[in-house]
Structure 1
Amino acid sequence: MNSIVLAVLVMVTLSMLRVSVVFALVVAAVVGGLAAGMPIGAIIEAFNKGLGGGAGVALAYATLGAFAVALSRTGIAQRLSARVVEHLGRSHHQAGELALVKWGMLVSLILAGFAAETIIPVHIAFIPILVPPLLHVMNRLQLDRRLTACAITFAITVTYMSLPIGFGTIFLNDILIGNINQAGNAQGLTVSREMAPHAMLIPALGMVLGLLIAVYSYRRKRVYEELAVAGEHLSASSTPLSARQLGLIALALLLALGVQLWSGSMVFGGLIGFAVISLSGVISWAEQDDVFTQGMRLMALVGFIMIAAAGFAAVMTATGELPGLVSDSVELIGDNRGLAALIMLLVGLLITMGIGSSFSTVPIIAAIYVPLGISFGFSPLAIIALVGTAAALGDAGSPASDSTLGPTAGLNADGQHDHIWDTVVPTFLHFNLPLLAAGWVAAMLL
């Protein structure tokens, strides 16, 4: 068995057995490296070199977690949530009114995800700020959090893979089109940026279908306990905020966003936001260290998984067995274009599931998939759809993807949402399968 396939299977199996994802990634990296014939010293060296690739993201998420907890201490989001909970607690609610609150909240989270990927490119940074205070509302509505996880993952995934705005500009224009042109130069293939949204439209519709299926799958009520949320006190004081405090809180939000967009660093954006909220007096000087620590703890799991995933990806690259994985697959294809498209998509799913990032998958597979697609007679649009979909497959549903880690960080703020069984498995089933089918259809029709 190819070492990359074996490593991904080990990682997924251990994760589903409720073994820590960090531990699963480390073990899978060692197993994959040994299966490829690498000495243990070379495996450790490659893993250690790869760790640095995830350190910046981990620190960014930690500082954003601290900013999120500081913002929660202001009580603004909790007050809004409490008003909704109080309203829901009154008797004689019409079923239609409760449904309106439920769907309104889900649509709002989806729109927030769209905005976080496009016009306000903060990616998953909005989740630990917006979602935890809403958990009390979800509890009262008995809303299945697996549906919420699917809704958020849908919003942050479908946007970058189909719209050339914000993160979509990076994925579609810089990474996807750039790497396809680089790989296709020798064969005379050139594609333009305008072709990417057209090519990815059908795969994006597959994601929409997956969300509709998730709405049906998780339509029933699910009971959760009313527990304290990380960084929040259920008995928080209802003392109104002064005009000065409200002004500084608004300034903190604007500066956190502005500094991130100006500097390109989520780390500095989160730190500036935390500092300005501290100046408002909502958090006493003696509590600042405790609040910052709570925030880092909130996002610590995300950070460590991203660091371990970077090490895992480095070992998989060092094995040198990706070309072998593709060549072995080609032997099964023959001259069948439909089977070729399916195999390429499945291999992309395996790679992204292990690496956890569709952005990092494109450069790896484009160099192999573009010549392969040309040899099978696929059109330029079909090749874009194949490479783009193969990279996006596995982003939703990977234990190491920020598209799944982000929703878990928000929904598990009270310890009642399991990363694997409540986020990873639902998003894998509801998005990867429709995306696989839609990507195949796009490759055959375009």
Structure 2
Amino acid sequence: MNAVVIAVVVMLILSLLRVNVVLALATGAIVGGFTGGLSFDEIIESFTDGLGDGATIALSYALLGGFAVAISKTGIPQLLVAAMLRIVKKEGQADRAALGKVLIVLILLAMALFSQNLIPIHIAFIPLLVPPILHVLNMLKVDRRLIATVLTFGLTAPYILLPYGYGFIFHEILANQMASAGLAIDMADIPKAMAFPVLGLVAGLLIAIFFSYRKPREYADKQIEITEEVVVVKTRNIVFTVMALIGTLSVQIPTQSMIAGAVTGIGILYITGALKWKEADGLINEGMRMMAFVGFVMISANGFAAVLQETGHVITLVEYASSILGDSKGVAALVMLLVGLIVTMGIGSSFATIPIIASIFVPLSMEFGFSTLAIIALIGTAAALGDAGSPASDSTLGPTAGLDVDGQHNHIWDTCVPTFIHYNIPLIIFGWATVMFFN
């Protein structure tokens, strides 16, 4: 049996059985290594050597987590909540209700979009922003599945397309892992290759808004106990926060280092006093803990990929797949996209999926004669598939955490299933079309 297939199957089965993903990756690597004829010492050595490749990404995530929590304490989320609550003051007016629904959806969409690139706070804004407005959503009879799809779109589309914030991390992983697999690329080509697949996400969002969930849905207006910290919103802190965000992007773009950007942003908040010195250490630690799991998954995925490369079975798998698929590029592209969907659904992280699939897909795609842009689109789309819809993904766990505080929003049926249908299916279609176009 092929060591790559065995390792991936073991990892997926354990992940689907809700075994911790890090343990699933380590176990899969050990089983795959033994299948590939490696000794235990060789497996451990390869796995350990591979861990270093994910360290930079993990540290970037940790620092961004700290930056996210720091920003959330400046009062910006409270200002947004207050603005949304003022939208609907007069009940019983149809035009007011319609306007309120539109504005709330737009505000949540904008915040989710900004949370990945412009204001890189990831899902930290959801538990601060969503629970306080559930009463308004109930009053407007807004289907919470709509809000879940809106939030998930904002948490996925920006990082896939734009090389800033979390998007820079995604693009950097994609470029580095493709280079490690034998195909060096220019990071500037990634947005070009991923633009059309992202249009698939846009199509899914429009379908959700204007067709799937446009009808009113009744919810019981339950009393929600929300622990709110009294945050004094000072104009100076808002100004300093904006300065920190500008500083983060100004440093990140020329240095191409998310670590340098995050440190710059945190430093500005420290120096200006927007982040109190006596609270800063605890807040940064809180943010790092929030993102620690994702970081460990990405580090472990690099070790997993290193073991598979060491077995030499990647080449064997490529040769076998080439003989089975024949000369059909269309069939090969579709199969690889579906494999990416399965892997990401099991792991729950598109970032952690790239090291696993790049080692297999790059040589296989080159064997089929795909162009560089086509390979970028193929691997980028295959990795992104499943992030929306996976029960273990931050992109679904975050929206559920905010929408289910009163027990009226089911994680699987109200978040995972709607996002899977509206985003993964269009992403497969648009991603496949992109791969074929670039050939």
- The one of 102, 105, 114 equivalent to 1:103 is 105
- For the 8 Å contact 2:122–2:155, the answer to whether it is kept is no
2:157 to 147, 155, 158: 155
Contact 2:204–2:422 (CA under 8 A) maintained in structure 1: yes
* Kept in 2: contact 1:110–1:155 (CA 8 A): no
Structure 2's unaligned 5+ residue stretches are: 139-143
Partner of residue 365, structure 1: 361
Displacement of 1:104 in angstroms is 1.0
Evaluate the alpha carbon distance shift between residue 276 and residue 206 of structure 1 in structure 2; reply closer, same or farther with a 3 A threshold: closer
In the alignment, structure 1 residue 127 sits paired with structure 2 residue 127: no
The equivalent of 2:141 in structure 1 is: none
Is 1:319 the equivalent of 2:315?
Answer: no
What is the DSSP-based 3-state SS (H/G/I as helix, E as strand, rest coil) of the residue aligned with 2:288?
A: helix
Aligned to 1:235: 229
Aligned length: 414
TM-superposed deviation, 1:435? 3.1
Q: Give how far 1:234 is off.
A: 0.6
In 2, distance between residues paired with 1:217 and 1:25? 37
CA-CA distance at 1:52 after TM superposition: 1.4
Q: Deviations over 1:129-180 (max 9, x none)?
A: 654532235634263464145312442255259xxxx959968x97899999
Equivalents in 1 of 2:159, 2:365: separation in Å? 22
C-alpha spacing 1:368/1:108, structure 2 compared with 1 (3 Å): same
Residue pairs, 1:78-89, within 5 angstroms: 78-85=78-85, 87-88=87-88
Deviation at 1:429, TM superposition (A): 5.1
Letter in 2 for 1:98: G
Cα distance between partner residues in 2 of 1:441 and 1:247: 44
The whole-number CA distance in structure 1 between the counterparts of 2:203 and 2:322 is: 30
The one-letter code matched in structure 1 to 2:75 is G
Deviation of 1:312 (Å): 1.9
CA distance change for structure 1 residues 71 and 111 in 2, over 3 Å: closer, same or farther?
closer
Q: How does 1:119-198 map to 2 (within 5 A)?
A: 125-128=120-123, 130-136=125-131, 139-140=134-135, 141=137, 143-144=144-145, 146-156=148-158, 158-159=160-161
Report how far residue 413 of structure 1 moved.
Answer: 7.8
**Alignment deviations for residues 50-90 of structure 1 (CA, whole Å, 9 cap, x no partner):** 11122212212222222222222221221221332354476
Q: Of the candidates 326, 329, 334, which is equivalent to residue 321 of structure 2?
A: 329
Q: Please give the TM-score of this superposition, normalised by the length of structure 1.
A: 0.72
Q: Equivalent residue for 2:39? A: 39
Which letter maps to 2:374? A
3-state SS, counterpart of residue 394 of structure 1: helix
> Which of 289, 292, 301 is the equivalent residue of 1:297?
289
Q: Is the 8 A contact 2:175 2:186 kept in 1?
A: no
Give the corresponding residue for 1:287. Answer: 279
Closer/same/farther in 2, CA of residues 57 and 405 from structure 1, 3 Å limit? farther
Residues of 2 paired with 1:197 and 1:244: CA distance?
A: 36
How far apart are the structure 2 equivalents of 1:418 and 1:23?
27
Sort the Cα spacing of 1:336 and 1:49 in 2 relative to 1 into closer, same or farther, 3 A.
closer
- Whether contact under 8 Å (1:34, 1:40) holds in the other structure is yes
Letter in 2 for 1:147: T
Give the secondary structure class of the aligned counterpart of 1:38: coil
Change (3 A) 1:309 1:148: farther
Q: Does the 8 A contact of 1:149 with 1:423 survive in 2?
A: no
Give the drift of 1:225.
8.4
The aligned residue for residue 260 of structure 1 is 252
Identify the residue that residue 66 of structure 1 maps to in structure 2: 66
Contact 1:29–1:315 (CA under 8 A) maintained in structure 2: yes
Distance 1:430 1:110, change over 3 A: same
Question: Identical aligned pairs, as a percentage?
Answer: 34
Tell me the alpha carbon deviations over residues 396-422 of structure 1, each in whole angstroms, 9 at most, x when there is no partner.
3259x9x95467568758996999998
Query: Is the CA contact (8 Å cut-off) linking 1:128 and 1:409 kept in structure 2?
Result: yes
Distance 1:328-1:97 versus aligned 2 partners, 3 A rule: same
Amino acid at match of 2:161: T
Q: Which runs of 5+ in 1 are unaligned?
A: 184-190, 375-379
Query: Residues 240-298 of structure 1, C-alpha deviation per residue, up to 9 Å, x if partnerless?
Result: 52x54444333323223323234332223323322332344454433222222212122
What RMSD over aligned residues (CA atoms) do the two structures have, in Å?
4.7
Measure the CA separation in 2 of the matches of 1:297 and 1:194.
Answer: 32
| Partners of 2:344 and 2:386 within 8 A in 1 | no
Counterparts of 1:182 and 1:64 in 2: how far apart (Å)? 29
What amino acid is aligned across from residue 150 of structure 1 in structure 2? Answer: T
Task: Give CA deviations for 1:307-365 in whole Å, capped at 9, x if unaligned.
Answer: 22222222222232222223222333345554344345445656777794476555753
The 8 Å contact of residues 159 and 170 in structure 2, kept in 1 or not, is answered as no
Q: Deviation at 1:100?
A: 0.6
Among residues 217, 232, 242, which one is paired with 1:250 in the alignment?
242
Match of 1:393, SS state, is helix
Question: Does the CA-based 8 Å contact 2:208-2:422 persist in structure 1?
Answer: yes
